[in-house]
Amino acid sequence: MSEDSAITHCAQITLAVLAGGEGRRMGGPKADLILDGRPILERLLDRLRWPGPTLLVTASGRQHPTGWQRFTSEATDPVAGQGPLRGVLTALENSPTDEIVILPLDMPNITLPSLAWLTARLRDYPTAAAVMIEQPLPAVFHTHIARPLVRAQLSNQQLALRQLAENSDVIVLPSPSDWPNDFWINLNTPTDLTGYTEGVLP
């Protein structure tokens, strides 16, 4: 899918960015990172140029990180200590659209066409709660179907995002073979950050 087609396709879909993590391995909240000389959230939005609504998901005490004003809205997790899955539910509960793409802020090589490919797959499965690929995020959801599934998983203390992929209402697909390997880079530690900025990560 070309970038122009991707922009048209995604105009009615919400993009949610999870930015509430403590960043224990990084040594501090990842939302405070500077990447390529820019706050990481601003860099992400500049890279994606998302055409639809944008939602920033933060944690209590870590609201309004640098770049938050660039988002259409911000929602704060009401419950602490439940990890990314709680952030997913917060995104689902606050999305202004029924289709929502959810991604972490620490995958710097995500592109708009790749997210558009995901949203197109969700439309291939109109009764699915979500479409996921090899990693749990990024993923795309039908909010009205996914919300009760995520709530139930949280109430059962199943906090791993990967457990959501085991639900029969979630479609797990292989990613396209032409996606570059560096799509999957995560910035989890200071070494990851240094390696990325110096161009030595695979």
Buried b (16+ CB within 10 A) or exposed e, 125-145: beebbbbbbebbbbbbbbbeb
Domain ranges of the chain: 3-176
Q: What CATH number should be reported for the domain whose range is 3-176? A: 3.90.550.10
For the question of whether the overall pTM of this predicted structure is more than 0.85, the answer is yes
d(CA 28, CA 151): 28
Q: What is the pLDDT of residues 139-165, one digit of tens each?
A: 999 999 999 999 999 999 999 999 999
Secondary structure E strands in the chain: 14-18, 34-35, 38-39, 54-58, 73-76, 99-104, 130-132, 139-142, 170-172
Q: What is the pLDDT of residues 14-50, one digit of tens each?
A: 999 999 877 788 888 899 999 988 999 999 999 999 9
